[in-house]
Amino acid sequence: MTDAEWAAVRPLLPVPGWMRGRGGQPEAYCHRAILDAVRYLVDNGIKWRAMPADFPPWDRVYAFFRRWRDRALVKEFHDRLRAQVRTRAGRDTEPTAGVIDSQSVKADAMVGSDSRGFDGGKLINGRKRHLVVDTLGLLLGVMVTAADVGDRTAARVLLQRVAEAHHRLALVWADGGYTGSLVKHCLAALALVLKIVKRSDDRKGFVVLPKRWIVERTNAWLMRTRRLARDYERRTTSAEAMVYWSMTLLMTRRLARPHPQRA
């Protein structure tokens, strides 16, 4: 991280338990060095054991990643960054509208058969990332499943999680894969309007569809980090944590840029 990025990130980091009087002891390595190591791994797609020597030992970095994954600290950190980015863009910290979509990616050989499948539509053997983003393309929720899990099946669970975390969310745009009983379920159970954006049959070739392009751009952002170009994680929770880490990297860079109104 640059000094500008660290200045933006440092106040948003979760406070360690030992500083809250909950026991434990201070960590042996600086948070900035640990964060740099995790960001390097996600951005460049290296193995844990291939961590460069100028970072802390790989097992200490992985222990930090595992702790933040299991205690949802990476999500907490991500959500604080998202609130800062939205505020800087002149938006409320809590969104009222979002977009949902899925992305199938190939899985590495280490991914077990219990969490992988074959997506017949895209001919991909691997996993599927289900995303809900706000109108800026920032992540509101992610769920990783086997690639053969249907979009509507996963959306029931994911939209419930997102609606519970973001009480102001009232409208979600989706593509034609989310039609059917899911629309009525969202309205009745979640007080959420699921609006289907369909492609016109009269248009030929590539067409940018309203609102749906937002989540497609987010999918493209994720694929720019090499660790997410293919799913290498044994656990789906680790795969979800990698998505959050990728988005934190993006938002940290945004916050480090000079504010347009102050430039």
What is the full DSSP assignment across 129-193? EEEEEETTS-EEEEEEEETTS-HHHHHHHHHHHHHHH-TT--EEEE-GGG-SHHHHHHHHHS--E
Contact 170, 192 (CB under 8 A): yes
pLDDT at 24: 63
Q: Each residue of 42-90: pLDDT tens digit?
A: 999 999 999 999 999 999 999 999 999 999 999 999 999 999 999 999 9
Contact 69, 238 (CB under 8 A): yes
Residue 21 has pLDDT above 70, yes or no: no
pLDDT at 120: 93
Contact 49, 59 (CB under 8 A): no
Average pLDDT (104-109) is 95
Question: 60: phi > 0 → left, psi -120 to 50 → alpha, else beta; which?
Answer: alpha
Q: Has this prediction a pTM greater than 0.85? A: yes
pLDDT at 19: 55
Nearest to 166 by CA among 143, 140, 133, 144: 140
**Which residues neighbour 23 within 8 Å (Cβ) at sequence distance 6 or greater?**
17
pLDDT at 23: 61
Q: What is the mean pLDDT of the chain?
A: 91
Average pLDDT (220-245) is 96
pLDDT at 18: 52
Tokens in use for 145?
A: 């499943």
Residue 261 has pLDDT above 80, yes or no: no
pLDDT at 263: 43
CA distance 241 to 222: 12
CA distance 37 to 40: 5
The structure tokens 């002891």 sit at: 25
Residue 156 has pLDDT above 80, yes or no: yes
110-119, 162-171, 173-182, 192-201: segment of lowest average pLDDT: 192-201
Tokens in use for 126?
A: 């691997």
End-to-end CA distance of the chain: 21
The confidence band for 28, taking pLDDT boundaries of 50, 70 and 90, is confident
Q: Are strands 117-119 and 193-196 parallel, antiparallel or unpaired?
A: unpaired
